[in-house]
Amino acid sequence: MGFSPSNIILQFAIFTVFITSKSLYLARETPRLSIITDKEALISFKSGLRVESLDPLPSWDQTLSPCNWTGVRCNKVGTRVVELHLVGLGLKGSISPQIGNLSFLRSLQLQNNQLTGTFPDQLNNLFRLRVLNMSINTIQGMIPPNISRCMELEILDLEQNKISGRIPNEISYLTKLQVLNLGKNLLFGSIPPSLANLTSLISLSLGTNQLDGMIPGDLSRLQKMKQLDLAINNLTGTVPPSIYNTSSLEYLNLASNSLWGMLPTNVGDTLPNLLFLNFCINKFTGTIPGSLHNLTRIQQIRMARNHFHGTVPPGLGNLPELQRYNIGFNRIVSIGDNGLDFLTSLTNSTRLNFLLVDENLLEGVIPESIGNLSKVLSKFYMGGNRIHGRIPASIGHLSGLALLNLSYNSLSYEIPQEIGHLEELSILGLAGNNLSGKIPTYLGCLKNLIQIDLSENELEGIIPTSFENFQRLLSLDLSYNKLNGSIPKEILNLHSLSTHLNLSNNLLTGPLPQEIGTLNSVIVVDLSNNGLSETIPNSIGDCKSLEKLLLANNGFTGPIPDTLSELKGLETLDISSNKLSGSIPDSLQKLQGLQLLNLSFNDLDGKVPVGGVFTNLSKIHLEDVLKGSVGYIPPEYGMGQKPSTTGDVYSYGITLLELFTGKSPTHESFTGDLSLKKWVQMAFATNVDQVLDPGLMLTNCSLSYDAQSITPEAQMDCSIAVLGVGLTCTGDSPDGRISMRDALCKLKSIRGNLFKADHAR
């Protein structure tokens, strides 16, 4: 654009007005603002804080100069406050508007407190301010557009607050800004392309907000920018090619968006200074650019959960500074026994502490050289691939491992004892393989374990008593193996267990030890599908945190423990397919949180409780629950059909008929073709009084509601209607029965009609 005389005159006029207005402002403030007004502003700031116990600023004595107060710094002659640094003091309350009177302030740092409220508009008076850091607070509202008047700002850090609204375009006027950090807030809208005017910017962090739209290509004009963080937003589209040409970039984080497209094959050449690359959780396609492995100083390459395909490119041996390599959850392939040899190249990365190649299409045998990986390798994920062969004994050399996940592959042979050398290990996942043999006793040396999962293998033998050493264990899963013997008391003395204990689908025998009651923090216990026997110990009631208890398909005998009613948080109880006897404890009605109860296929007798969970047919399974109760069982079960909810409806219908007639379906009067159901059907509607329980009718004589008695006619109508529901639940064909939901709705309607005002007198 040419410089015409008119343009020059206009620009000169604007400059003159700006200088004049600033001079006038300075002239006005000189007699008005001083160290005295600075002191008043600071006192006002402190008065806006909430003091709940100890004074967070005890040195702020009003009889002294503020230059002697904690966090306050004055200029050399002590005439004005130039810095206010109150970092990490737990300050609570809002920021006083009078802070705008600290007009000589160059640095305001209030980060890592508990400040609330909004940004006072008076911040724009701090035109000498170079550093403004209010990160890690709970400040709300929008970024005030007039912050653009703080033209000297070099650092603006408002990270981790509750700031909402859009990013104001006015920020682009802060042309001296070097650091702009607005991450971890509630900002929405698009990224203003005008931010490209911040030509001094070195770091731009807008991650963890609700920003949408595309990444502005104009950002590539920020030729000094070393850090660009746009992660965890709702950004879409492709990454502008010009971003990949911002050669100054050292840190590029675009993770957790909806970005797509392919990475340029030469991205490692056009971003030669890159130290950190995170493209995880997007929709990127194509292959992993081999040029990334030419970045000899790069520390982190993270590309998990995308749609990358192809093989791992060569050159991993060129990355001596590499700390994290994550390509998990893609479609990366390798073929043949040597398909995992690329791992050998990583032995040169002596600082590697995080290696994830899980959930891909990798084939091959784990090379013995795996033991030569970095001694500081902490987390190693290889699960969900097609890896076969043995787990090499050399894995025991990875002494820094805290997490090892090889689950859901095709690994076979025995678990190497050398895993027991990994004394720092806290999580061990070997589930879903073909591992065989016995569980090594040496695993008991892993005293730091908090989670171990050996499920879905071919392991056999007994559960090692050395597991008693897992005193920090939260979760133990040995399900779906061929383990035999009894449940060791030692693992039931692991008081730390708090998520789940799963020994289901094995060949375990013997009683359930009384020590089960010591697991008072565990949420899920699953011992189903074993050969456990004898009684369920009463101590089960001491497992106060239980939400799910699964003991089905064993050989438990004796009564259902009444102590189960003490498990107030229980949501699922399945003790079906055992040899339990006696009656169903009425106390089970107290389990208000129970969502599923399965007592079916036992040798129980007596009546089914009618309160609590037993009122909701969709939550209980009672097939073949009562010994000798042929009358409760739907006819289709006798023809080999599997248990179903329609069968539950039939059983419930019979129970209703029993309650109102006073006769059980196995009453001696029901012989030949006569059954409880047929007896009621014959009398239904016209002769109901002949089948109703006389004791029930006698009780109903004094029935009242809301201080008014209910007429005998209304009571009879109610009885007929309930028996009608019972009959519609007991159709010979499952298709002819009403649903559980409909049965409950009908009963509620009958109850409502009974209590209507016009039925009372």
CB 228 within 8 A of CB 257: no
Higher pLDDT residue, 697 or 57? Answer: 57
What average pLDDT does the segment 5-25 reach? 43
Separation of alpha carbons 525 and 506, rounded Å? 14
Higher pLDDT residue, 17 or 91? Answer: 91
Higher pLDDT residue, 11 or 150? Answer: 150
Q: How confident is the model at residue 678 (pLDDT cuts 50, 70, 90)?
A: confident
pLDDT of residue 7: 47
Q: How confident is the model at residue 692 (pLDDT cuts 50, 70, 90)?
A: confident
Spell out the domain ranges in the chain.
Answer: 470-627, 629-759
- The encoded tokens of residue 508 equal 């375990």
| Single pTM value for the model | 0.79
Residue 571 has pLDDT above 50, yes or no: yes
pLDDT of residue 53: 73
Select the highest-mean-pLDDT range: 23-27, 63-67, 645-649. Answer: 63-67
Tokens 């002191």 — which residue?
A: 39
Residue 627 has pLDDT above 60, yes or no: no
Instruction: List all residues 6 or more positions away from 752 whose beta carbon is below 8 Å from its beta carbon.
Output: none
pLDDT of residue 346: 96
pLDDT of residue 27: 38
Separation of alpha carbons 209 and 143, rounded Å? 14
Instruction: State residue 268 phi and psi, 5-degree precision.
Output: -70, -20
CB 214 within 8 A of CB 237: yes
CA distances 23 to 54, 79, 492, Å, are: 44, 20, 80
Instruction: List all residues 6 or more positions away from 513 whose beta carbon is below 8 Å from its beta carbon.
Output: 486, 487, 489, 492, 537
What average pLDDT does the segment 672-679 reach? 83
pLDDT digits (tens, 9 = 90+) for 397-428: 999 999 999 999 999 999 999 999 999 999 99
Separation of alpha carbons 31 and 35, rounded Å? 11
Lowest-pLDDT range, 124-133, 360-369, 531-540, 670-679?
670-679
Residue 189 has pLDDT above 80, yes or no: yes
Separation of alpha carbons 551 and 574, rounded Å? 6
3-state secondary structure 506-528: CEEEEECCHHHHHCCCCCEEECC
pLDDT digits (tens, 9 = 90+) for 496-508: 999 999 999 999 9
pLDDT digits (tens, 9 = 90+) for 721-738: 888 898 899 888 888 899
Residue 5 has pLDDT above 60, yes or no: no
Residue 13 has pLDDT above 50, yes or no: no
Nearest to 356 by CA among 406, 310, 400, 410: 406
What are the beta bridge partners of residue 427?
A: 403, 451
Residue 60 has pLDDT above 80, yes or no: yes
pLDDT of residue 677: 83
How far is C-alpha 321 from the geometric centre of its chain's CA atoms? 32
CB 188 within 8 A of CB 163: no
pLDDT digits (tens, 9 = 90+) for 118-172: 999 999 999 999 999 999 999 999 999 999 999 999 999 999 999 999 999 999 9
Considering only the top CATH level, what class is 629-759? mainly alpha
CB 177 within 8 A of CB 199: no
Residue 207 has pLDDT above 90, yes or no: yes
Compute the mean pLDDT over every residue in the chain, rounded to the nearest whole number.
90
pLDDT of residue 631: 67
Q: How confident is the model at residue 450 (pLDDT cuts 50, 70, 90)?
A: very high
pLDDT of residue 4: 47
DSSP-assigned states of every residue in 662-697: S--TT-TT--TT--HHHHHHHHTTTSGGGTS-HHHH
Residue 2 has pLDDT above 80, yes or no: no
What average pLDDT does the segment 472-499 reach? 96
Per 3-state DSSP, the chain is made up of helix, strand and coil in percentages (nearest 5) of 30, 20, 50
pLDDT of residue 757: 47
pLDDT of residue 751: 83
pLDDT digits (tens, 9 = 90+) for 63-82: 999 999 999 999 999 899 99
pLDDT digits (tens, 9 = 90+) for 520-566: 999 999 999 999 999 999 999 999 999 999 999 999 999 999 999 99
pLDDT digits (tens, 9 = 90+) for 287-312: 999 999 999 999 999 999 999 999 99
What are the beta bridge partners of residue 287?
A: 309
Q: For residue 757, with 0-12 CB atoms within 10 Å meaning exposed, 13-18 middle and 19 or more buried, which class applies?
A: exposed
What are the beta bridge partners of residue 84?
A: 72, 108
Higher pLDDT residue, 249 or 8? Answer: 249
Residue 626 has pLDDT above 80, yes or no: no
How much of the chain exceeds pLDDT 70, in percent?
91
Residue 720 has pLDDT above 50, yes or no: yes
pLDDT of residue 107: 97
What average pLDDT does the segment 667-687 reach? 81
- The encoded tokens of residue 55 equal 């004074």
What average pLDDT does the segment 661-677 reach? 82
What average pLDDT does the segment 471-489 reach? 97
| Sign of torsion over alpha carbons 389, 394, 396, 401 | negative
CATH topology classification for 470-627 = 3.80.10
What average pLDDT does the segment 671-693 reach? 81
Q: How confident is the model at residue 624 (pLDDT cuts 50, 70, 90)?
A: low
